[in-house]
Every structure is written in C-alpha cells, then in structure tokens.
Amino acid sequence: MKCYNHPENDAVATCADCQKGLCHECASIYQEPVCAPCNQKRINYEHQNIFKDFGIMLVLGIGLTYLWVSMFSERLSHGIDVMFVIVYFYIFFSIYNGWKFLNKITPEMFLFMSIIGWIIYF
C-alpha cells in the first residue's frame, strides 16, 4: 500500500477514519494517524458542536434569567439590580456545560439518580 499524499512512499499506517494509507511523515503529523481531509472534518465537527452548545447555553441563560427576574421583580424593593441579572444569567448560562461535564465524569450515576438521590448523595 502506498501513501495517500505521497504515492512514492510506502504506507506505514492507515487513517483512523477513512483507512487510506499514510507514510511515516503523514502519520506523524497528528497524535492519531489521520489524513488531512479527515482531520479537517473532525475540526469542522468540533466547531459545529461548540457553536451548538454555545447557542443552547445562550438560550438557556437568557430564557431562564428572564423567567427568574419576571417572577421575582415585584419582590425586589429597589427594582432589578444589574448585578443580580448578571449573576443569574451566569448561573443559568452554565447549567448546560456543567451538566455535560458531570455526565462525562459519572454518566451512569447521573442517568439513574433522581433529585432526591442527589440530595441524599450530597
């Protein structure tokens, strides 16, 4: 088998995604042996996930902050403080990524444990 990029060189590895042959030079570019087009696909996929996650976080942050402020705005004696809104936006903005992070650490526990279970757990 010959290299995908350098047909004059013998392949020493194959691309992890598309199984094309890679010579020593091409196989050692990235930590995992991947050809350049497959690496670009991986980068594009990661960018799409980042923008999707940011959009979800933004919608959650704005939506839940609006609901929270509208529910408790009449209880505040001096109106709505800007710092109050910023802090709650940050809290609600962080829920999605926090939940994703905790699911990476202990996925089985988060799938099956209810709210009461979390109260007992902590």
- What is the average pLDDT across 3-23? 92
CA distance 65 to 83: 12
- What is the average pLDDT across 15-41? 92
**Confidence band (pLDDT; 50, 70, 90) for 106?**
confident
Asked whether the predicted pLDDT for residue 119 surpasses 80, the reply is no
Q: Which pLDDT belongs to residue 62?
A: 92
Q: Which pLDDT belongs to residue 80?
A: 64
Q: Which pLDDT belongs to residue 12?
A: 93
Domain boundaries, the chain: 1-34, 49-121
pLDDT tens string 57-103: 999 999 998 888 888 776 665 656 777 888 889 988 998 888 888 77
